[in-house]
Amino acid sequence: MELNPAMKHNYQNLQEFLAELEKAGELQRIKAPVSRELEITQITDLASKSPGGGKALLFERVVDSPFPVLTNAFGSERRICMALGVRDLDTLAERLRSFIGMEPPKSLRDSLRLLPLGLELLRFLPRTVKRAPCQEVVLTGEQIDLSKLPVLKCWPQDGGPFITLPVVITRSLETRRRNAGMYRLQVFDGRTTGMHWHIHKDGSHYFQEYRKRRKRMPVAVAIGTDPATTYAATAPLPRGIDEMILAGFIRRKPVPMVRCLTVDLEVPAEAEFILEGYVDPNDLRIEGPFGDHTGYYSLIGEYPVFHVTAVTHKKDPVYAATIVGRPPMEDCYLARATERIFLPLLNAVMPEIRNFWMPWEGVFHNITVISIEKEYPGHARRVMSAMWGQGQMSFCKALVLLDSEVDLSTPRKVLETLLNEVDLESDLYVSEGVLDVLDHSAPEPLFGGKLGLDATRRLPDEKNRRGASEPLPIPSRTLIEQSLHEISEFLTAFHVPPLNVKNRLLLVSFRKDGSVAGRNLADRLLNHEMLKPFSIVILYDVSIDLTDASLTLWKLFNNVDTKRDLIRAGNRMVVDATKKGPEDEHHRPWPDDIVMDPAIVERVELRANELGIQGFVAPTAWKE
């Protein structure tokens, strides 16, 4: 696919990208003064949840800071494509596929065929420069004061202000290979932050190397890099692969790097801000809570402390931040890019995979839908096992397998196909394995239930699914209400999603008071005659709007441990998607949903005209 000749393919730095966004009508300047504590978050959240992701926001006057703040820069289909210099994300995937599929030369003459590709590969490698814009201003010693940066406190229960869009650069003590990852930093005081390395991430792996040798670990943090470099820091590359090479591939030119002034590392020369420093393996501090991309607060924990030895920046820098929370948010579009770009890499290992999709409500690690070209009996199970052994895909809680002809870009069609094809008795594969550190549903951290659903067609040598008879007629609302009341006074409301499927859904509100677990109601729900037209009954907390499809899917994907919360009887089942407690044999803390302070919501609504965000706020919510 040819690129749009009018589109810019790469950007020297973040501010060049900003200029291009403004030219394209994709940037909104907020000229009124705003607070970095909660107010910027509320405005950005409104933009993120506007149709199509709203616009990128540049807050020009941040209270108590001389620096402007940029948010939502990647938060739409158009902006993520502009950031990566492509008309659509599949274009970048095809470029990657051309390198992966490159055949080795069969002769010296044939090797000339690869010369252009080889020369292009050399253009991806980062290059070192001696002078850099990121070091136009240098602050060391007593001059360092992180409070001068407009670091955001994003959500009411956050443990403090967090740097949310950093490119954290480290180097392996053993291999000397570089890692550039995105790990949040809670600002503790003027010279220290937390370093939130998840246990499964490369930065944490390198940290353990230094810890074993009792050595300080040099660390550098770049804030506000060119968009390709920012994206590359989020990408799930195999350990040891330099993210700067991926950034160079996306940019079609090298990322210029410059040596730090106080630590032995190199950083992107065109970054807006650089924090240099070190992590002492013996210095740990409580970090969190933090309103995370799951839509919940991640819990407090002990993490290494990053000691800042220098702050450098451009003369007129822009501070880049992202807001995460209940989807859709800006990070959904970064994940969408990963989904498209990494399909060719997945195909290199499993060529039978035709496509895959990570629903936003699954927050990237709870569910993945995969279409395959099925070739033999048990093929779907093999793909499930292989996917659970692939890098960060190993943390995925649920995998859904469909045939290659199913269009994964139409979510309703995907859901209807699944509910029409799946046999709940034979097609569910319940297992257990490693989970993402942010998963809160499992009884134990980092390990819990996994679920595979095989909705692919049966091949001649496979056992046929049980012949599905026509579903029984749906009872009247009155009869359903009476039936639920007969089962338990705690079942207070219901909704039947309007889906034309064989395996019908019944969503039920469950008023929990700590005395009854969902599984204790399962037998009665499954055996009640009036509820037999429903194959799947899903229990939700009473605060959940059962008619909100996105909300109910988000709760389903996040709140269910598949070994504990799925109760099956033949070809029917009950799923408990409620908040768990001791009555459910769940004894570790359950995080709160992220909810903005009502006073901040009201303040932003009242200031809508002043801020120029009338289009983000529903008119009925405005106050006189």
Q: Compute CA distances 43 → 34, 613, 624, whole Å.
A: 10, 8, 19
Picking from 352, 311, 332, 569, the residue whose alpha carbon sits closest to that of residue 456 is 352
Report the C-alpha gap between 309 and 387 in whole angstroms.
42
Residue 529 contacts by C-beta under 8 Å, 6 or more apart in sequence? none
Picking from 152, 156, 177, the residue whose alpha carbon sits closest to that of residue 165 is 152
Record the tokens describing residue 227, joined without a space: 């968009």
- Which candidate in 158, 202, 292, 436 is catalytic? 292
Tell me whether residue 264 is one of the annotated catalytic residues. no
3-class DSSP assignment, residue 158 = coil
CB–CB of 591/299 below 8 Å? yes
Report the C-alpha gap between 117 and 98 in whole angstroms.
9
Q: How far is residue 564 CA from its own chain's centroid?
A: 25
SS3 content of the chain, % helix, strand, coil (to 5): 35, 25, 45
Report the C-alpha gap between 506 and 522 in whole angstroms.
13
User: Left, alpha or beta for 272 (phi > 0: left; psi -120 to 50: alpha)?
Assistant: alpha
Q: Which ranges constitute the DSSP H helices of 39-76?
A: 39-48
> What sign does the CA torsion over 127, 178, 246, 220 have?
negative
Listing DSSP states for 258-272 in one string gives EE-SSSS-EEETT-S
Record the tokens describing residue 622, joined without a space: 């405005």
Task: Return phi, psi of residue 361, to 5°.
Answer: -65, -15
Task: Return phi, psi of residue 447, to 5°.
Answer: -150, 135
Instruction: Count CA within 13 A, CB hemisphere, residue 505.
Output: 23
Report the C-alpha gap between 481 and 472 in whole angstroms.
17
For 620-624, which contacts have Cβ atoms below 8 Å and span 24 or more sequence positions?
A: none
Report the C-alpha gap between 529 and 521 in whole angstroms.
15
Task: Return phi, psi of residue 246, to 5°.
Answer: -60, -45
CB–CB of 60/122 below 8 Å? no
Record the tokens describing residue 231, joined without a space: 């994206």
Cβ neighbours, 10 Å, residue 135 = 19
Annotated catalytic residues are 292
